[in-house]
Structure 1
């Protein structure tokens, strides 16, 4: 069985050349992430084209995710070499874009003194350094260092999300989203989503040109999680900022909660941040990192994501090889049958569902396919889809059988690279159900994905009023309404 959990890799200086990209994709990268917080737009567009070329050469469908910067509050530049902030020291916090020092930190945030209050906690950088506001005046605040350390450059300055007045998406985000959608990326990640309306603003610019990934990284987003998931095409558990905005001991539980909610909704979910962090400089991960990746697999995540490990790390290809091996090993122990049992029960009790008739039909038939695959020990489930929705609905049940997503749309094929367990395959458009079923089986047989003598299931459908058997398209009437069991001979 192939690896079911997908891998997202951030591309940076250590990995953006054609040869390294080729090795990364050959090693198992399913989705390439472009971090728009760093570098120029033209550089990212060049990497996008490079990924397209290399993926075609390797012969693997690879999706591209453009990650928008979102609102950023930063400290003024610290002296070269950095400074040490000692626990217990009192430091001035002032709004402005001046240089910072060990005694005074300048913060590029105009309403700093309005939004801060005595007792508030603020973090610098990745949250390792924490200050508590102990005094306020008309022109400055004073923070006591609770956890200290060395700070360099212009680190981020993190206020509690409920105090932050900056909105998501920013004007810069919308411009970048337009550029990236025009360039043809499959996914655009929206940073610091706090409610569904944040996603809707990007949707208004992007339309259906790219799928939107909501990054869950604030306490406020947890209060609106269901509506955010409903407005999103995918979700990212962005544990870095989530662990700053929420008590750090809550993060593992929030991760499990978010993943479960996404799987039930049929929305792909990515687990991100520090998965193999030590491999930025070390040849192997820590035992804790290996356990972290395995537990994300046990949680049911669709994908695990690497950031600095592949963007600036010493050996990006070794990182992919390692995380792929950990995921494959964890999948041998993962109890995926529980997903099918749980979802079936929730659907029978009407605790999960869909608003439109087409989606309800698709959910019901994918549930039936999950049961049928277990009953007949099917080798594979072939999902014929124009939009990828059939494959995503089937992936909710985490079946033991190999899932193959077949689509005539190359972009849909690449988009399915993010969904758990789905092997994306491009096919032609066919005119009838019989023709489509025959060619779906024939194509997967020729590719060596199934064998003679196998029993396979074929899922397909058509919009109301459309040709029976034609690839389904999106819309309120679209539904997966065909299920065939086929003995391959």
Structure 2
């Protein structure tokens, strides 16, 4: 199944550590790495940490039903709760919440507003009624909690994932820039760090959060619970644009083809949603339940792949993408990358070849969303896997180059081997000299592929 999914269009696989055992994830990890060896292609693996998910405790008889207008009470501990003592075993909530704040239970199906506080209770008026059952999740829009983004479970999962050799670590429920510093201190350079944006407080410090991240995920599930539904599309566009400006990959995720969990085709609205993310300029779009537990995983991947291809070939795509292009930074590396994209378009280059040791050269080119593919060539296996997430990049693992002549020969050979170019084609080659030194995008060359 993993092979079928990869051949259908998957570039990076997500291991969701909210579910499954370490043995389960280790088995999948081994299978992906075996597939990588079999196909000779880099494949990215993303570890998605559960994060500090806030939940109510256990309720007498499993659930209670509350009605709009009635008053209920939350307490910090206890079991067999009822409407006058619903267990909420999170002391940080009692320390931070204020009258007027809202609690949203079970993805917002039940919503209450805090009316009165005590040392050991929170009294609230029900705004939207419904059932509150055991262990349902709680969201607190507008309340910043003194809460580490890494629980004890996350720390154990992270150590396990890093030992496995995951390429990306996604940090859930990021609230502030310091959360990323805490995670970075544990991860070091063993994996790249991705911030999941699903809290309103993260949006307030988004520029700093993007700067401290290696990539960003627009996690519309919890974000859509904590901010109004009508604000999510605009926020998505803002986040994608900010990441493109910062030269950081951005994923749009959650419910993209949700109906394909149980049906072989999506709704028209879902197809439009995927296309919108592509028009926005996202680097990647992500499936969740559709491929993790749905009845049509391969069909969902194939459908998403077809929507991406159709959108990128639409006559309006290029004008929309160009209209949202950020201004170049006034630096030589960014200018060289921008020139490469423009030159490739003018001469109808078969591809742009980016020799990159850290991935930065390829990312700078991808920022321009050029009209031709990017062949991202690196000698670093970890970088080659991380580049699978980058817009327009075809990642290739190759040995180091040491001379200008080697660079040209490698570009011509790999362009043909990977079936992006043929004899007599032109290619634009970008590199940093001296070679194998990160961050030195400074050389641009047009290469003509000779006939045999």
Q: TM-score range by the shorter chain?
A: over 0.9
Task: String of CA shifts for 1:433-475, please: whole Å, max 9, x gaps.
Answer: 111221221122123221222211011113xxx4xxx3x333x
Classify the secondary structure of the residue corresponding to 1:448.
coil
Distance change (3 Å), C-alpha of 1:193 and 1:112: closer
CA distance in 1 between partners of 2:168 and 2:225 (Å) = 25
State the alpha-carbon separation in 2 of the partners of residues 342 and 311 from structure 1.
33
1:73 aligned residue (31, 54, 58): 54
Bigger drift between 200-209 and 134-143 goes to 134-143
For the pair 1:316 / 2:297, whether they are aligned, the reply is yes
Contact 2:42 2:397 in 1 (8 A): no
The answer to whether structure 1 residue 456 and structure 2 residue 445 are counterparts is no
Tell me the secondary structure at the aligned position of residue 482 of structure 1: strand
Q: CA RMSD in A?
A: 2.2
Kept after mapping to 2: 8 A contact 1:79/1:152? no
State the Cα distance separating 1:108 from its structure 2 match. Answer: 1.7
Across the two proteins, how many residue pairs are aligned to each other?
449
Match in the other structure for 2:437: 473
Secondary structure class of the residue paired with 2:339: helix
Q: 1:193 is matched with which residue?
A: 174
CA distance in 2, matches of 1:453, 1:282: 47
SS of residue in 2 equivalent to 1:306: coil
Q: Determine the structure 2 residue equivalent to 1:380.
A: 351
1:249 aligns with 2:230: yes
2:122 and 2:361 mapped to 1: Cα distance?
A: 54
| Post-superposition CA distance 1:274-302 (Å, at most 9, x none) | 11122222222222211111111110000
The worse-fitting range, judged by mean Cα deviation, of 96-105 and 154-163 is 96-105
Aligned to 1:11: none
Q: 1:27-42 to 2 correspondence within 5 Å? A: 27-42=8-23
Matched, 1:485 2:443: no
Unaligned runs of 5+ in 1: 1-19, 354-359
- Which sits farther off after the overlay, 147-156 or 411-420? 147-156
Residue 184 and residue 260 in structure 1: after superposition, are their counterparts in 2 closer, same or farther (change >3 A)? same
Does the alignment pair 1:148 with 2:129? yes
Matches within 5 A, 1:15-414: 20-78=1-59, 83-101=64-82, 104-333=85-314, 335-336=317-318, 339=321, 343=325, 346-347=327-328, 352=329, 360-414=331-385
Tell me if structure 2 keeps the 8 A contact 1:22–1:58: no
CA contact (8 A) 2:311 2:317 kept: no
Q: 1:146: how far off?
A: 2.1
**Per-residue deviation, 1:395:** 0.3
Deviation at 1:78, TM superposition (A): 4.4
Query: Corresponding residue for 2:392?
Result: 421
TM-score normalised by length of structure 2: 0.93
Deviation at 1:387, TM superposition (A): 1.6
- Between stretches 45-54 and 98-107, larger displacement belongs to 98-107
Q: 2: CA distance between counterparts of 1:162 and 1:316?
A: 37
Aligned partner of 1:432 among 403, 416, 436: 403
CA contact under 8 A between 2:168 and 2:191: conserved in structure 1? Answer: yes
CA distance in 2, matches of 1:67, 1:161: 24
Deviations, residues 46-75 of structure 1 (Å, cap 9, x unaligned): 221111112333443210000112212111
Q: Is this contact kept in 1: 2:350–2:420, CA < 8 A?
A: no
Q: Shift of the alpha carbon at 1:80? A: 7.1
Asked whether the 8 Å contact 2:96–2:143 carries over to 1, the reply is: no
